[in-house]
């Protein structure tokens, strides 16, 4: 009953607010990545693939700026939700596929080539991360752009962060540096174009407080974010405070261009 009520609520909000309704109750890391994406994703008639798309937040954004969007993920529930919301939002040319990205090479011909690929906070969950990047390179047209974010290797752990020994959806590694990603991109015939960071000191403190409420007081995730949401106003100061404290960022954000040869 509760799940049906949640679905009905999301459907209602999506219908009357649009795709941005999907961001309600989400942690600020999602909106932080979206802010970065807006600076780098090209609008217009481009084919864009969202790898590890979850419920399609970034896939829908790409569609709204004119891209022909395709989202892929292994999560069946998220896939159903994304397809349902695409219908509600009237984005009939936005497609979602239930697909295991560890065997992405088997679907290159089916998916076709893309002008842009979004891969946010995904490769750290995959044991063979180099294979994933090579598969993404195969899906990119020459001159196509890969937009990737992943945890910064030296970020401070957030509460209950742990590493997984098997691919169970958890993190296989703590993260990456820009230099490491640049080397991995080079192996895949992709040239790094920009290197940035996402998620500074204030954002990470909001994450800490939220997880503390969820773990120690068993507060529902959405309620926890509602409690901390007034403090999101301080995120405008995040870059300045982070630089002042010399605090390690949460994620690295990189764009790369597929070389023609």
**Over 90: is that where the pLDDT of 174 sits?**
yes
> Per the structure block, which two tokens stand in for 88?
């509600």
Q: Please state the rounded mean pLDDT for residues 50-60.
A: 94
> Per the structure block, which two tokens stand in for 32?
């932080």
Whose tokens are 């090579």? That residue is 134
Nearest to 37 by CA among 201, 236, 198, 152: 198
Lowest model confidence (mean pLDDT) among 34-48, 125-139, 207-221, 234-248 = 207-221
pLDDT band at 157 (very low <50, low <70, confident <90, very high): confident
3-state SS string for the chain: CHHHHHHHHHHHHHHHHCHHHHHCCCCHHHHHHHHHHHHHCCCCCCEEEEECCCCCHHHHHHHHCCCEEEEEECCHHHHHHHHHHHHHCCCCCCEEEECCHHHHHHHHHHHCCEEEEEEECCHHHCCCHHHHHHHHHHHEEEEEEEEEEEEECCCCCCCCCCECCCCCCCECCCCECHHHHHHHHHHCCEEEEEEEEECCHHHHHHHHHHHHHHHHCCCCHHHHHHHHHHHHHHHHHHHHHHHHHCCCCCEEEEEEEECCC
What pLDDT digit, counting tens, does each position of 201-256 carry?
999 999 999 889 988 888 988 788 888 988 989 999 999 999 999 999 999 999 99
**Over 90: is that where the pLDDT of 28 sits?**
no
Write down the pTM of the prediction.
Answer: 0.93
> Per the structure block, which two tokens stand in for 109?
């011909």
Q: Please state the rounded mean pLDDT for residues 89-95.
A: 89
Please tell me the number of Cα atoms within 13 Å of 229 on its side-chain side. 12
Quote the longest CA-to-CA distance of the chain: 55
What is the Cα–Cα distance from 122 to 129, expressed in whole angstroms?
9
Question: Is the CATH code 3.30.420.40 the one for domain 29-200+249-258?
Answer: no
What is the Cα–Cα distance from 228 to 170, expressed in whole angstroms?
25
The radius of gyration of the chain from alpha carbons, rounded to an integer in Å, stands at 18
pLDDT band at 4 (very low <50, low <70, confident <90, very high): low
**Which pLDDT does position 251 carry in this prediction?**
97
- Give yes or no for a contact between 214 and 221, defined as CB atoms under 8 angstroms apart: yes
What is the Cα–Cα distance from 30 to 15, expressed in whole angstroms?
21
Nearest to 116 by CA among 148, 86, 158: 148
Give me the percent of the chain exceeding a pLDDT of 70. 92
């Amino acid at each position: 009953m509760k799940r049906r009520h949640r679905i009905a609520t999301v459907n209602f909000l999506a219908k009357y607010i649009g795709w941005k309704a999907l961001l309600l109750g989400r942690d600020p890391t999602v909106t932080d990545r979206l802010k970065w994406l807006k600076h780098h994703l090209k609008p217009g008639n481009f084919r864009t693939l969202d790898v590890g798309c979850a419920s399609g937040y970034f896939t829908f954004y790409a569609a709204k700026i004119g891209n022909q969007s395709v989202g892929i993920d292994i999560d069946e529930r998220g896939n159903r939700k994304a397809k349902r919301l695409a219908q509600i939002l009237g984005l009939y040319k936005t497609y979602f596929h239930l697909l295991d990205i560890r065997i992405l090479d088997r679907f290159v011909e089916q998916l076709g080539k893309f002008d842009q690929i979004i891969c946010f906070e995904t490769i750290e969950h995959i044991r063979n991360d180099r294979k994933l990047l090579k598969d993404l390179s195969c899906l990119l047209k020459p001159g196509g752009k890969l937009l990737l974010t992943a945890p910064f290797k030296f970020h401070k752990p957030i509460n209950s962060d742990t590493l997984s020994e098997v691919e169970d959806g958890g993190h296989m590694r703590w993260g990456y540096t820009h230099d490491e990603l640049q080397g991995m991109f080079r192996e895949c015939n992709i040239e790094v174009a920009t290197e940035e960071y996402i998620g500074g000191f204030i954002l990470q403190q909001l994450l800490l407080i939220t997880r503390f409420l969820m773990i120690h007081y068993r507060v529902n995730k959405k309620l926890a974010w509602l409690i901390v949401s007034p403090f999101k106003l301080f995120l405008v100061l995040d870059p300045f405070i982070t630089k002042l404290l010399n605090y390690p960022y949460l994620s690295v954000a990189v764009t790369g261009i597929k070389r023609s040869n």
